[in-house]
Structure 1
Amino acid sequence: MHKLRCITCEKVYDPQKGRYTCDDCGPLLGTLEVLYDYESIKLEKNFKKKASMFQFAELLPVSSHTPLDDFIGGTPLMTFDHVFGYDKLMIKNDGMNLSASYKDRASIIAVNRAIEEGNDHIFCASTGNAASSLALLNAHTPIKTTIFVPSTIPSGKLAQLMVAGAHIFPIQASYDEVFDLSLEIGLKNGWYTRNSAINPYLLEGKKTGAFEIIVQNNYESPDYVFVGVGDGTIISGLCKGFKEFYDLGLIDNLPKVIGVQAENASTLKKVFEGHDLFVEDVQTIADSISVGNPRDVVKACKYLKENGGYFMSVTDEEIVKSIELLASTTGIFSEPAGAVTLAGLLKSDIPKDKSICLVITGNGLKDTSNIKITEVKSYTKEEVYEYFRKEHS
């Protein structure tokens, strides 16, 4: 059994259908965190390295109800020695989830929670990954899926939405405007929301990435974990996941979590560094983290300060270079929002003997619009033979 606690006033609520935020603090300041009876939870170091996220059932707020549950999470933690000058570099590659995105961890929680509450309709506002994830993971259930996205959604993510059969509304507006519109329509109709931050259960899915990093690294904490940040829910989830394993005695120290934002979409970083809560217009090639009104700002800032980590920002040019460098060096093709982690690492002054983990949140095939594909000459067979004859003559 779990409880819900307001991140600001700490008022505690029992879980109930339609409960998303604190009545007193509202949807921004009153986001809720999920609490468990930690004293009754006794975990040992016997989790499997490649099992799904539902192996952490004692620390999840839902039970498993769908045949897809066994295939979400368990993504590889890839280790490279002496790459980019670091003795040990780990890459948590969540581009290998079912929809090729870290967002599957949250979507499968939302689908199972919607089933448990007896909902017949679920909705989501997204720049693309969360939407395509929800549409694909919910396609096999009788629950209807309605999706609200900016009309600038990358074609790869739109294709996933279309083949999944979701009801899609591409809107000529920013993500933040789309988010507000989706809540107005979805909650008015009594639909279940998969929107980040507003739904406290989504973070519980996202924290499982932290659990897996620890388990797959033989219960040793990396020194630093880099992750791209938009709304703030994934970084909140990682901080919470590491803290829960620490409090339960499964690790001896906490990794420092570093949130990386695009320079022209760094609202959360500014608030973390002392600015008052505010909303701004943002623009970056990293569409998945292009957020000027981060909904999990309070939780993200609180959890990161407790963790001892910090935020940094990188330029779009640095992001593009990192996509290419990551692929050409490790073979991992990341979307821009994942490659910001490498851009952040290369911009940092972290000593080379520290162990590093980069969280790659999405596959690069989901957004290829910023990759410069040069015109490639085509050859006749005769020209190929002639080329290699000269090459070896």
Structure 2
Amino acid sequence: MSCDRPITALSSLPTCPHCHSSVLKGHYDLSGLDRHQWIQTLRQRPPSLWRYQELLPALKPQHRVTLGEGYTPLVPALRLGAAWGANHVYLKDERQNPTGSFKDRQATVALSILKARGVQRLVLASTGNVGIAYAAYGSRAGIATTIFFPQDVPPEKVRETQVYGSTVVQLPKNYDETKVAAAQFAQAEGWFLDQGVKGFAGVESMKTMAFEIAEQLGWRSPDWYIQGVSGGLGPIGVAKGFEELLALGLVDKVPALGLIQTAGCDPLVQAWKAGAAEVTAIDHPKTTILPLATGNPGVSYPILKALLDRHGGAMTTVTDEVAFDTLRRVAGQEGISVEPATAVAIAGTLDLIDQGIIAPHETVIINCSGHTYPVSQAILDRRQLKAN
């Protein structure tokens, strides 16, 4: 478990010096922040995640590496909600970020911190969206990036990363194995290894979704926040954001978390349903949805379990086939083309409604984490194969 002791934003430590957790969280002095004045100030700031600068790492303006990310819209899922008998379902449309996914939040905070620290080269492993985001923001920051991809990443995502000038290494391995290879390479070269959403920037950036959701709902919390998860650390950041707003008196609760995994790679769900204290890794994930193919989520499960115990929530799985059917349904009924990981979250929401876990009157926010476009050919090929 994370001890939650303060960590400086510019620390080079990969783990907490106190508890050795790799999940690093920032702490902010909220006592001097007047919430009423802060709300008035926000109304005068540009619509980006950096509008919440008082609750983000303290960085000089010249160190901020930004492309105008954040403050994405909440889109009512009108036809889907009506079909489900749920009247308050919204998609947090993260496709509207500069490179088309919610990983731009992580990239802007991470690359800004690295620029302030004077880092010149970084290495990370990715299944696509993180690599694209870091390549774009690395280019803007003047930081050379080397991206390690596992074998099944769609070529469109690889090519987009290369357009930004990143060095790409694609290996005949799964994602967990690729992460190990990237870490070994970074150590051998003496380059900075980005820990992804586990690092300080990951948790601190993802909480900005909570700030935006609360503001867009008129400074109230939804009843549920839903996301398709792999390691599951994104919702940890979102929950932290709502906890900070609760401490400020701006909302009255932290929403329940709905965490959805694919049936072919569901170590978090298996552990939670068994009431286990620790997660058992899945050595060979059986899913074609690579962003959710982390067989070993590591340190996240105890933190997520504690959040669900404290604030409520549930975990469930959906099959790849159901996810792809849902993807086409969302595009055809709502005019919103989403990535498969988002389709997992949407299909899982319906499952939770069908189980009676989510009530029809509750307000539900689904993280629409990315766009179909980078994997559209693979999706169309899959549909063609099914038709034949």
Structure 1 length-normalised TM: 0.86
Aligned partner (choices 279, 282, 287) of residue 277 of structure 1: 279
Listed as ranges, the matches of 1:164-179 within 5 Å are 164-179=164-179
Structure 1 residues 13, 235: closer, same or farther in 2, change over 3 A?
closer
Counterpart contact for 2:63–2:113, Cα < 8 Å: no
Q: Distance in 1 between matches of 2:111 and 2:33?
A: 25
Question: What's the counterpart of residue 297 of structure 2?
Answer: 294
Q: Distance in 1 between matches of 2:108 and 2:299?
A: 20
Listed as ranges, the matches of 1:54-133 within 5 Å are 54-63=50-59, 64-65=61-62, 69=66, 71-81=68-78, 82-84=81-83, 85-133=85-133
- Bigger CA radius of gyration: 1
Counterpart contact for 1:257–1:310, Cα < 8 Å: yes
| Greater Cα shift, 133-142 or 267-276 | 267-276
Structure 1 residues 226, 198: closer, same or farther in 2, change over 3 A?
closer
1:13 Cα shift? Answer: 4.9
Structure 1 residues 160, 20: closer, same or farther in 2, change over 3 A?
same
Question: What's the counterpart of residue 52 of structure 1?
Answer: 48
Aligned partner (choices 24, 31, 34) of residue 39 of structure 1: 31
Structure 1 residues 68, 31: closer, same or farther in 2, change over 3 A?
closer
Q: Distance in 1 between matches of 2:120 and 2:321?
A: 44
Q: Distance in 2 between matches of 1:344 and 1:38?
A: 35
1:203 Cα shift? Answer: 1.2
Equivalent residue of 1:75, what SS? coil
Aligned partner (choices 337, 341, 366) of residue 374 of structure 2: 366
The count of residues paired between Structure 1 and Structure 2 equals: 367
1:145 Cα shift? Answer: 0.6
Aligned partner (choices 8, 15, 35) of residue 21 of structure 1: 15
- Structure 2, unaligned runs of 5 or more: none
The code of the aligned residue for 2:370 comes to G
Deviations 1:307-347 (A, max 9, x none): 32221111111101110111111111111101112101111
The code of the aligned residue for 2:379 comes to N
Counterpart contact for 1:54–1:70, Cα < 8 Å: no
- Structure 1, unaligned runs of 5 or more: 1-6, 376-393
| Greater Cα shift, 243-252 or 7-16 | 7-16
1:97 Cα shift? Answer: 0.7
Q: Distance in 2 between matches of 1:30 and 1:68?
A: 24
**Going by fraction, where is strand more abundant, 1 or 2?**
1
Q: Distance in 1 between matches of 2:54 and 2:64?
A: 19
Q: Distance in 2 between matches of 1:283 and 1:65?
A: 45
Q: Distance in 1 between matches of 2:156 and 2:210?
A: 27
**Aligned pair 1:305/2:301, yes or no?**
no
Equivalent residue of 2:35, what SS? coil
Counterpart contact for 2:94–2:367, Cα < 8 Å: yes
Equivalent residue of 1:220, what SS? coil
The code of the aligned residue for 2:157 comes to K
The code of the aligned residue for 2:49 comes to M
1:351 Cα shift? Answer: 2.3
1:15 Cα shift? Answer: 5.2
Structure 1 residues 188, 110: closer, same or farther in 2, change over 3 A?
farther
Q: Distance in 1 between matches of 2:267 and 2:180?
A: 18
1:9 Cα shift? Answer: 4.6
Q: Distance in 1 between matches of 2:71 and 2:214?
A: 12
1:37 Cα shift? Answer: 1.7
The code of the aligned residue for 2:75 comes to M
Query: Percent identity at matched positions?
Result: 26
**Going by fraction, where is helix more abundant, 1 or 2?**
2
Structure 1 residues 256, 13: closer, same or farther in 2, change over 3 A?
closer
Q: Distance in 2 between matches of 1:224 and 1:13?
A: 29
Structure 2 length-normalised TM: 0.87
The code of the aligned residue for 1:22 comes to C
Equivalent residue of 1:172, what SS? coil
Listed as ranges, the matches of 1:294-333 within 5 Å are 294-297=297-300, 298-333=302-337
Q: Distance in 2 between matches of 1:269 and 1:92?
A: 23
| Greater Cα shift, 114-123 or 32-41 | 32-41
Q: Distance in 1 between matches of 2:156 and 2:92?
A: 22
